[in-house]
Chain A
C-alpha cells in the first residue's frame, strides 16, 4: 500500500463549479501536510499547508482529519487557470516529504 494515496482523476469540471479532492495517508505518525500544485510539464509548487483546524486561502480550503487519516482540498468557483495536477504531501516528523501521485483537474469553459 502506498503511504499517500490519491484518486488520479481526471476531474473534469465547468468554470464556476466547486470540486473536492481527498487524499489518505497510512502513517499515523505523520506531522505536517500540504497541497502542492503542478502544471503540465512544470515543477511542483506549494499551494497551501494543511492545519488541524482547517484553513482557507481565497477559493481554496484544506481540511485534515487525523482520526481517519485523510486530507481534503476544496476549490470553489473553479477557474480555467486552476487546471493542473494537485499533489497531496505528507511529512513525518523531521523526516522527508512523501508525495502522492496527484489528482488531475481540468476546468472547461
Chain B
C-alpha cells in the first residue's frame, strides 16, 4: 500500500520565487497535516485539515504561506514569496479520524531558498 506521497522531494529556489509543495495522503485517511522541521525549532505544525476543511492554521508563519485541500486525495502548501528563512524540511502527514493519534508521515520536501 502506498504511504503518504510528497513532491518534489527536493527544491532549490531563489528568494522571491513562489514554491508549491504537494501531498497525497493515505487513501481513507481524513486528517492531513503540514509540518516544518528545522534544527533550531524541531517539528512544528503549520496547519491541519479534517475532511478537507482547515481546522487549525495557527502555526502558519505569516501571510506568505497558504495551504489548500481541494479534495480528499490532494493538498498543497504554497510559499509566495519565498525567503531564505523558509529553508527547512516540510512534512505532510495523514491520519484516520480527528484524534490525531498515529500520524503517518511522507518522506518530506527539502526546501532551500537562496
Contact = CB atoms under 8 A, between A and B. Distances in A.
A99 B106 contact: no
Interface majority SS on A: helix, strand, loop or mixed?
strand
Nearest to A99: B43
B106 A97 contact: no
Contacts of B56: 96
B108 interface: yes
Contacts of A91: 99-101
Given A44-B91, A49-B101, A91-B100, 9 more contacts: A32-B101, A43-B105, A43-B107, A43-B108, A46-B102, A97-B45, A99-B44, A101-B41, A101-B42
Interface of B: 33, 41-45, 48, 56, 91, 98-103, 105-108
19 contacts: A32-B99, A34-B101, A43-B105, A43-B106, A43-B108, A44-B91, A49-B101, A87-B43, A91-B99, A94-B98, A95-B100, A96-B45, A96-B56, A97-B100, A97-B103, A98-B45, A100-B42, A101-B41, A102-B42
